[in-house]
Amino acid sequence: MGFEGGLLGLIILVADIWAVVQILKSSQSGGSKLFWILLILLLPVIGLLVWLVAGRR
Protein backbone atom coordinates (compact mmCIF):
# COMPACT_ATOMS: atom_id res chain seq x y z
CA MET A 1 0.00 0.00 0.00
CA GLY A 2 1.83 3.02 -1.19
CA PHE A 3 0.47 6.43 -1.92
CA GLU A 4 -3.06 5.14 -2.60
CA GLY A 5 -3.37 3.54 0.83
CA GLY A 6 -2.19 6.69 2.57
CA LEU A 7 -4.55 8.84 0.54
CA LEU A 8 -7.48 6.54 1.30
CA GLY A 9 -6.62 6.64 5.01
CA LEU A 10 -6.47 10.43 4.92
CA ILE A 11 -9.86 10.64 3.20
CA ILE A 12 -11.40 8.34 5.82
CA LEU A 13 -9.83 10.38 8.64
CA VAL A 14 -11.18 13.66 7.24
CA ALA A 15 -14.65 12.13 6.73
CA ASP A 16 -14.67 10.79 10.30
CA ILE A 17 -13.61 14.15 11.74
CA TRP A 18 -16.34 15.86 9.70
CA ALA A 19 -18.92 13.35 11.02
CA VAL A 20 -17.85 13.85 14.64
CA VAL A 21 -18.12 17.64 14.27
CA GLN A 22 -21.59 17.26 12.73
CA ILE A 23 -22.64 14.98 15.59
CA LEU A 24 -21.38 17.43 18.21
CA LYS A 25 -23.27 20.29 16.52
CA SER A 26 -26.52 18.30 16.32
CA SER A 27 -29.44 18.63 18.71
CA GLN A 28 -29.35 14.96 19.72
CA SER A 29 -29.12 13.94 23.37
CA GLY A 30 -25.74 13.52 25.01
CA GLY A 31 -26.05 9.74 25.14
CA SER A 32 -26.92 9.54 21.47
CA LYS A 33 -23.96 11.75 20.56
CA LEU A 34 -21.64 9.59 22.65
CA PHE A 35 -22.92 6.42 20.98
CA TRP A 36 -22.36 7.73 17.45
CA ILE A 37 -18.93 9.17 18.24
CA LEU A 38 -17.77 5.93 19.85
CA LEU A 39 -19.09 3.93 16.90
CA ILE A 40 -17.18 6.12 14.45
CA LEU A 41 -13.99 6.03 16.53
CA LEU A 42 -14.07 2.25 17.03
CA LEU A 43 -15.21 1.33 13.50
CA PRO A 44 -14.17 4.26 11.30
CA VAL A 45 -15.54 3.13 7.93
CA ILE A 46 -18.53 1.08 9.07
CA GLY A 47 -19.45 3.56 11.81
CA LEU A 48 -19.40 6.44 9.34
CA LEU A 49 -21.56 4.57 6.84
CA VAL A 50 -24.08 3.54 9.51
CA TRP A 51 -24.26 7.12 10.81
CA LEU A 52 -24.79 8.48 7.29
CA VAL A 53 -27.66 6.05 6.70
CA ALA A 54 -29.33 5.83 10.11
CA GLY A 55 -28.11 8.55 12.44
CA ARG A 56 -27.95 11.70 10.41
CA ARG A 57 -30.93 14.01 10.75
What's the pLDDT tens digit per position in 1-57?
677 778 999 999 999 999 999 999 999 999 999 999 999 999 999 999 999 999 876
- At 56 the pLDDT is 75
pLDDT at residue 38, rounded to an integer: 97
Q: Domain limits at 30?
A: 3-55
Q: What is the reported pLDDT for 5?
A: 78
Write down the pLDDT at residue 18. Answer: 97
Cβ atoms within 10 Å of 33's Cβ, excluding its own = 17
Residue 11 to residue 27: CA distance in whole angstroms: 26
Is there a contact between 13 and 1 (Cβ–Cβ < 8 Å)?
Answer: no
Count of the separate structural domains present in the chain: 1
Instruction: Kindly report the pTM of this predicted structure.
Output: 0.87
